[in-house]
Each structure stands twice: as C-alpha cells, then as structure tokens.
Amino acid sequence: MGNQQGSYNPARDAAEAGRRPDDHELLLLFSLQKRFTTRLVECPYHLGLLGRYWDSMHGNLMRNNALPFQRNSADWQTIGFTSCNPGDDIRAGGELGLECLVFFVENYPGEARMLNRHLGYPLAKAAVAVVRVLMEILHVVAMDGSKGNFPVQETLYWQLLDADASFFQLFAFCLLMFDELYCEWVSTTGVAAQACDTSIVAQLADQGKAKLLATLRRAPEHLTDLIDLCGNGQILRKLHLKLDLDAKKPKPNAWSKRVDLFFGLEQKGH
C-alpha cells in the first residue's frame, strides 16, 4: 500500500494552500481598497450618505415629525457617535466605512437600534473597527496600515466575495458578532454602566477577527456557512438587500472646493 503520509495529491494540496483571487474578486478587492483609503470630504455623495444614516436612525422615513439633517449637531450623539461632528468617529474607515454604516442601518434597522446603546460602546467606532479587521482579513491592508498584498495572496475564502453586497453582509454579520463579544465582556467585567473606550473596542474587534478567521480557514463556500458563529447569524440569509451606494456617487468636479471632514488628517496607510 505504501506510505500514505508521503503520497502526493495535487487537488488536496491545492485546497489546503488556497488560491489567489480571480479577476472578478480582484476587481471587488481593488474597489474596497480604493474606498477604504478615500477620505471623507464635504461632497454631495458623502454628505448624502450621512443624511441617509441620520434619517434611518432618527426614524425620519417612518414618521411625519422628521428631524432635519444637520452636519454638526448634538443629535449625532444619540445615534451612535461620540461628538457633534460624525467625522471624528469615522475618519479611519474612509468612504467604505460610511457606506458600511449606511448599509447596516438601512437593511437591519431593528438591529441597528439594538446596538445603539446609550451606555456601552460607540456604534460608529465599533463599525470602523470591524471594517479595519475585515480589511486585514482580506489583505486589503497590512497590520501596520500599509497596502496589503491581496493580488498575490492565497486564501481559502476568496469565493465569499461574489459582489459588493456579500462584503456588506459580512460586515453586518461581524458587527453583530462584535456586539455578542461586548455582552460577554460586560458579563465578565461587570462594567455595563460605563462607556467602553476605544482600546476595548479594538480588543473586541480583534477577538472577532480571530473567531472569524478560524472558520474562514475551513474554506466556507457561502456566507451562510458562517451563521453558527453568531446568535444573529440568520441575517446572512436575508434577501432583497438595499445597496444603492456607489451608483449614486457624483463624478469629481475639478472646480468645486472639497473640504475635508477630518480637518486635513490623513487616513492611516493612505
């Protein structure tokens, strides 16, 4: 029979090593990288995204007494931000981070309100932390913030990236998994009545990253293969998602003044 341990099986060895992203996946990864490293500015597209987040979280689409959108307002602190200027919390996530937040609150409004606790972690900062770890998992950025090597990186999970919607669903799933980790942290530390600072947010996001990677390394075929990682994992089965993000982006206007929402602070790794 021979020594089976020394047998060579090309298909098995290829599966264990993974593969590089195909052309379709590469285009999506390049798009994610570009949007992640695009700073938010005072342009119609970015302000429009902020307005959609505002309307969704304040319930403006469901009631007559709508709260008018305000670029700087204390009301941002009631819908997941820590200051009157939302840019303070989301600058590190770039355009992609804001798109992820809008996708989450528009497609999962009930879950968004559940996560928007007045005592606990800041929702916007948690979302940015989740985007960061997803960019690391997808090798869009390296651990030090520099550009990642996804074009030549072999993994066992590129097949999960079949469209923009799949990435946004993965983000929503990971944000809910972050919330579960937060609840576990509260039950262990007993600090439910205290605000969760940025260092704890980063720590919990990294825990979620390790938990997710353990399953991704088993070569899941579909996002639904991740459901058991999170008590709210059934969101991955939701169909008819509202995306409508990048399609509305206006063409750049060389004559318009673009004011940085972050007062000139450059994004890490950009």
pLDDT at 16: 61
Length of the chain: 270
Indicate the pLDDT class of residue 216, thresholds 50, 70 and 90.
very high
Residue 256 counted as domain residue: no
Residue range 238-264: mean pLDDT, rounded: 53
Confirm whether 1 is domain-assigned: no
Return the pLDDT at 260: 54
The HSE-up count of residue 265 (CA atoms within 13 Å, CB side) is 14
Domain-embedded: residue 74: yes
Q: Is the pLDDT of residue 38 over 50?
A: yes
Q: Which residue has the higher pLDDT, 54 or 188?
A: 54
Residue 252 domain-assigned (yes or no): no
List, as one string, the DSSP characters of 15-40.
Answer: HHH-B---HHHHHHHHHHHHHHTSPP
Predicted confidence band at 61 (pLDDT cuts at 50, 70, 90)? low
Among 67-76, 158-167, 255-264, the range scoring the smallest mean pLDDT is: 255-264
Torsion of CA 114, 136, 162, 245, to 10 degrees: 60
Closest Cα partner for 141 from 99, 97, 180?
97
**Average pLDDT over every residue of 25-35:** 96
Report the share of the chain in percent with pLDDT over 90. Answer: 60
Q: Contact, 92 vs 268, CB < 8 A?
A: yes
Q: Is the pLDDT of residue 257 over 80?
A: no
Burial, 199: exposed, middle or buried (Cβ in 10 Å; 0-12, 13-18, 19+)? Answer: exposed
Classify residue 93: in a domain, yes or no: yes
How far is it, in rounded angstroms, from Cα 167 to Cα 161? 6
Cβ atoms of 122 and 194 within 8 Å: the answer is no
Model confidence band, residue 251 (pLDDT cutoffs 50, 70, 90): very low
Q: What is the model's pLDDT at position 175?
A: 96
In the prediction, which pLDDT does 244 show?
72
Q: What percent of the chain has pLDDT above 70?
A: 80
Residue 118 lies in a domain: yes
Give me the mean pLDDT over the 219-244 stretch.
Answer: 83
What is the predicted pLDDT for the residue at 221?
93
Q: What is the mean predicted confidence (pLDDT) over 164-189?
A: 92
Range of the domain at 231: 21-246
Report the pLDDT averaged over residues 154-171.
94
**Cα–Cα distance between 97 and 203 in angstroms, integer?**
19
266 is a domain residue: no
What are the pLDDT digits (tens) for 66-106?
789 999 999 999 999 999 999 999 999 999 999 999 999 99
Answer yes or no: is 6 within a domain: no
pLDDT at 268 over 70: no
**Residue 231 confidence (pLDDT) above 70:** yes
The total number of structural domains in the chain stands at 1
β-strand partners of 109? none
